[in-house]
Amino acid sequence: MSTRPAAGRCLVDLSAQDRLRRGASERAPRLRVLGCPPAGAAAGYWRFLVREDVHVLGVQYPGRESRFREPAAPSIEALAAEAAAAVAAAPWAPAVASPGAAADVPLVVLGHSMGAAVAAELASRLEHREGIRVALLALSAKTAPGAAEVAGAGAGTDEDLWAGLDPQAPGADEAMVRWLRRLGGTPEAVLEHPELLALQLPALRADLRASMAYGRLPAPVGAPLLLLRGTEDDTVDPAGLDAWRPVSTGPVQRREYPGGHHPFADHRDRLLGDLMACAAPGRSG
């Protein structure tokens, strides 16, 4: 017998948090974005997307922030299953599931790096098991399972990454720091602070192991597919990203943004504009 987690357990309403900080009134959103963060990151990774007309929710994986004491999830599928149950329990879910509700707020499932695998699984579960319509599936900076990694940079070929996966191995933390520094996106204050690093590395390693073990695509969704990458991101090439194409029976579009592995914080409005345009009914690839 399965239990459904409360929506607040693994879904963090970043827009509501922002309104509370600013004392702002609630505004009807034009778009609802459900963000799956990369390995080692928490739901707050997507805080930069918060805007008055966008409802942003982050998936909170176990083993970090408010869920720090919980054991890490064993697989990508487990992360997606928990998040799907939480979405189904959310107060806005019935409207998304109602057929013919054209005026409802479009739901975008967005995943970055490891989060792209979670997002693909999550969107599939929402459509096929929960009856919840996804307006757009957006996947970023992750080679699809079964596709060849980029030589010298992908998760399967980076020596520092492999050397850093086993916390008991000599020099493992130092190797992981070198890998994170090359990847970008982790504050230098964390990388240079042993206590902060010790808090982050267990969740990061667990996420990376789950990501590496993920080996097959989920059942395809009918939603359009948007594929995203940074122009200078050497961890994924266009062919590896394009290998996600079978996860959707809808139109496919691609966008590139200036920057490396984590390019979106500097291009928030452009990213939101692309998500809104690609989630619009009748949009063709």
Q: Give the whole-number percent of the chain exceeding pLDDT 90.
A: 62
Residue 204 inside a domain? The answer is: no
Return the active site residues. 113, 261
Residue 182 inside a domain? The answer is: no
Q: Output phi, psi for 202, to 5 deg.
A: -60, -45
- Tens-digit pLDDT profile for residues 240-267: 999 999 999 999 999 999 999 999 999 9
Q: How confident is the model at residue 284 (pLDDT cuts 50, 70, 90)?
A: very low
- Tens-digit pLDDT profile for residues 10-28: 999 999 998 777 666 677 8
**Amino acid, single-letter form, for residue 23:** G
- Tens-digit pLDDT profile for residues 116-162: 999 999 999 999 999 999 999 999 999 999 876 544 334 445 788 88
Give the pLDDT score at 18: 83
DSSP code string of 224-267: -EEEEEETT-TT--HHHHHTTGGGBSS-EEEEEESSSSS-GGGG
Give the pLDDT score at 78: 96
Give the pLDDT score at 163: 85
Q: How confident is the model at residue 55 (pLDDT cuts 50, 70, 90)?
A: very high
Residue 162 inside a domain? The answer is: no
Residue 52 inside a domain? The answer is: yes
Residue 100 inside a domain? The answer is: yes
Residue 175 inside a domain? The answer is: no
- Tens-digit pLDDT profile for residues 188-219: 888 888 888 888 888 899 999 999 999 999 99
CATH number assigned to the domain comprising residue 229: 3.40.50.1820
Nearest Cα to Cα of residue 116 among 6, 285, 247: 247
| pTM (two decimals) | 0.88
Res. 100: pLDDT tops 70: no
Domain range enclosing 139: 7-150+211-279
How many domains is the chain partitioned into structurally?
Answer: 1
Give the pLDDT score at 125: 97
